[in-house]
Amino acid sequence: MYTTISLLILSSILSILPHSSAYIPAYPVNDPVSPPDASGTNGTSPSESWLNMTSQSYNGGGFALKVSYSVVGAKSNGLAKGPFLHFSETNLTEDTTTTPWIALVSCDSNSTNASTTTDIFTLARQRGAIAAFLYSLYGERCEISRDYADPTNFDNRMDIFSAPMLTASQFIEDRFAVITTKYRNFNATLLNDSAAEVNATLFDGPVAQGFMFASLRASNATADGGFGDLTPIADKPQGNGGNPNTGLELNILYATVVAVLTLLSLM
């Protein structure tokens, strides 16, 4: 009996002690020009990468934006598709999902008591994420730490893509304005409940209600990147009276392994 009481007291004490938060192995930088690609080469054969966005609120129109392929996953085929969801440790639970999803992670700040052993991408992967996308609203772009980028140090990584400049990050965030709040952030229960609709969307079925979808595709991926052909931002209106020329230079070549990000949303 005394042992049981002691364990209960210890558990209560541990539950109220501050815990270490996972660290984000990336940081914002003010240089919008991407570094050498994630394979370690000098990016001698750059290709274009695009962020493609569409929803019924845009009457089927789409938007295109180049993105960078920052980290190659351990078993990557260069393609990841799923709901696109903000992910952080705020109100994070241990709940997991088998429904594929992509983590949208800000590199703008680390917790003051961040762990030195557990990273934010590991937390996302443990909860079912198949890829991650980094963005910054303070710097021009996110840069992965050299230690994390080294596959000999982290051998169980997933693909990580990133916005190449500040205006790209701002543009992505603005697209979430048409999404109902509950569909903007990671929620394992919601993903589990929506598994059938999400999987139908990923296999060219009807778009799952509420979610924004992303397809991340590296330039050397052989699989189909997803949700149809969309045209560049400059060639289509943004909807809601937006200016199509948001400062995103579509003719910039990034010296990186490139990716395609397709966003699909439905109110």
Q: Are 127 and 100 in contact (CB under 8 A)?
A: no
The residues that bridge with 67 in the sheet, in sequence order, are 259
Among candidate residues 146, 63, 152, 70, the one with its CA nearest the CA of residue 105: 70
Per-residue confidence of the chain (267 residues) as pLDDT tens digits?
A: 444 444 343 334 333 333 446 789 999 999 875 444 443 333 333 345 555 655 545 444 456 677 888 888 888 888 888 899 999 987 788 999 999 999 999 999 865 454 556 889 999 999 999 999 999 999 999 999 888 888 788 766 898 989 988 988 998 899 888 888 889 999 999 999 999 988 988 887 666 778 888 888 877 776 666 554 443 333 333 334 333 333 333 333 232 333 344 444 444
Residue 239 located in a structural domain: yes
Residue with tokens 């992967």: 125
Residue 5 located in a structural domain: no
What DSSP state is assigned to residue 90? T
Give the per-residue pLDDT at 135.
Answer: 96
Residue 6 located in a structural domain: no
**Rounded to whole angstroms, how far apart are CA atoms 255 and 238?**
28
Give the per-residue pLDDT at 225.
Answer: 61
Residue 185 located in a structural domain: yes
Give the per-residue pLDDT at 111.
Answer: 54
Residue with tokens 């980290």: 71
Give the per-residue pLDDT at 262.
Answer: 42
Residue 13 located in a structural domain: no
Q: How many domains does the chain have?
A: 1
Q: Residues in the chain, how many?
A: 267
Residue 3 located in a structural domain: no
Give the per-residue pLDDT at 38.
Answer: 42
Tokens of 156: 């169980």
Residue 82 located in a structural domain: yes
Give the per-residue pLDDT at 118.
Answer: 82
Tokens of 226: 């997803």
Type and span of the H or E element at 173:
helix 166-175
Q: Which domain holds residue 30?
A: 21-265
**Rounded to whole angstroms, how far apart are CA atoms 160 and 150?**
13
Give the per-residue pLDDT at 52.
Answer: 60
